[in-house]
C-alpha cells in the first residue's frame, strides 16, 4: 500500500460550523453544495436557494460534465473544470469542502471530491454527515447566494485515478485490478431494474465484487469507522494493498468506494467513469452478468 501523508478526506459539521463562525470562508476555504436528485423528485438548485451553509456555492453536476458524451455524468475537460471551479472562487491553494442534501447524509459529494482529485487538487474534503446532520444539529443556514471573487484554477488530469472502457475491458484478461461495483445488490445481480433508465438492463461487469455504497454510511448518515470500513473490504476479500477500480451505474456512487478506501489509507483507487451505463452499451454480451436477461428470456 502507498504510504504517504493523506489530506483529510472528511471534516466534521462542528469544524465547518466553527470555520463559518470565525469568518474563515474565502479564497482559502470554499464550501460547495453538490446536491443532485433524480428528475421529478427534488430540485437541488431550488433547495440551495432556499437554504444552504452560509458562504456555500452551488456546484451544478449538470453544468460541470461532458455534455457531448452519450454516457451519463462523464468528466468534463480540464479546461471546462478549471473554468467552472475558478468561477466559484476556487484556486489551486483553496481547501474545498463538499456536501449534499441527500437523505442518506451523503450521495453526490464523494463524486465532486473525486473530481477535484482527478484534476490534480488534493486539498478537498467531504462534510461528514452532510447537510442532513448540519440541519439536525442546528447549525446556521442562509438563503443568501454566494458571490465569490473568481479565481484561477489550473487542472491537470491524473489518469491514474481514472479508467476508461478499454482499460476495464483489458483488465478482464489481465486481472491487474480488482473491480468493485457500488450499486445495490439487486441492481448488481440484475433482479431489480435500473432506476429512471430506458433500454438499460441491470447486471454487472464480469468479475466485479458488490459493495453497495449505502453500507459505508451509518443510519445517521455519517461515514462508518475506520475499523468497520476495513472489515467490510476484508469481508468481500478486497485487498487494499492491490490495485482497485470502482464502478457503479454512472461513476457517481463508485466514488464512495474510493473515499472509503482513501480513509483506510489507500489513495489510488481509480473510478471507471462510464461505469455500467457505458459497459452495457459497448461491451461484448459475455462480459455482462445479469439475472435480468435470464428472467426475461
Among 64, 248, 255, 264, which one carries the catalytic annotation?
A: 248
The residues with which 245 forms a beta bridge, in sequence order, are 179, 270
64 is catalytic: no
Residue 185 main-chain phi, psi, to 5 deg: -60, -40
Active-site residues: which are they? Answer: 248
Amino acid at each position: 500500500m502507498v504510504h504517504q501523508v493523506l489530506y483529510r478526506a472528511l471534516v466534521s459539521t462542528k469544524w465547518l460550523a466553527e470555520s463559518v463562525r470565525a469568518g474563515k470562508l474565502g479564497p482559502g476555504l470554499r464550501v460547495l453544495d453538490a446536491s443532485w436528485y433524480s428528475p421529478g423528485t427534488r430540485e437541488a438548485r431550488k433547495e440551495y436557494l432556499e437554504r444552504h451553509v452560509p458562504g456555500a456555492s452551488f456546484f451544478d453536476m449538470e453544468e460541470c460534465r461532458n455534455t457531448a458524451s452519450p454516457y451519463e455524468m462523464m468528466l468534463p475537460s480540464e479546461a471546462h473544470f478549471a473554468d467552472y471551479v475558478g468561477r466559484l472562487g476556487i484556486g489551486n491553494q483553496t481547501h474545498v469542502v463538499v456536501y449534499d442534501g441527500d437523505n442518506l447524509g451523503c450521495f453526490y459529494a464523494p463524486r465532486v471530491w473525486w473530481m477535484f482529485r482527478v484534476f490534480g487538487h488534493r486539498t478537498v474534503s467531504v462534510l461528514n454527515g452532510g447537510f442532513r446532520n448540519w440541519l439536525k444539529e442546528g447549525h446556521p443556514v442562509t438563503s443568501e447566494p454566494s458571490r465569490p471573487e473568481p479565481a484561477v484554477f489550473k487542472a491537470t488530469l491524473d489518469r491514474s485515478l481514472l479508467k476508461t472502457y478499454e482499460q476495464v475491458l483489458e483488465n478482464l484478461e489481465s486481472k491487474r485490478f480488482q473491480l468493485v461495483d457500488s450499486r445495490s445488490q439487486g441492481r448488481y445481480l440484475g433482479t431489480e431494474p435500473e432506476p429512471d433508465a430506458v433500454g438499460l438492463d441491470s447486471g454487472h461487469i464480469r468479475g466485479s465484487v458488490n459493495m453497495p455504497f449505502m453500507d459505508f454510511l451509518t443510519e445517521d448518515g455519517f461515514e462508518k469507522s475506520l475499523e468497520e470500513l476495513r472489515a467490510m473490504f476484508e469481508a468481500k476479500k478486497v485487498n487494499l494493498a492491490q490495485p482497485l477500480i470502482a464502478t457503479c451505474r454512472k461513476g457517481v456512487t463508485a466514488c464512495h468506494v474510493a473515499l472509503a478506501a482513501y480513509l483506510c489509507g489507500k489513495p489510488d483507487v481509480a473510478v471507471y467513469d462510464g461505469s455500467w451505463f457505458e459497459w452495457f452499451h459497448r461491451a461484448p454480451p459475455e462480459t455482462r452478468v445479469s439475472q435480468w436477461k435470464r428472467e426475461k428470456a
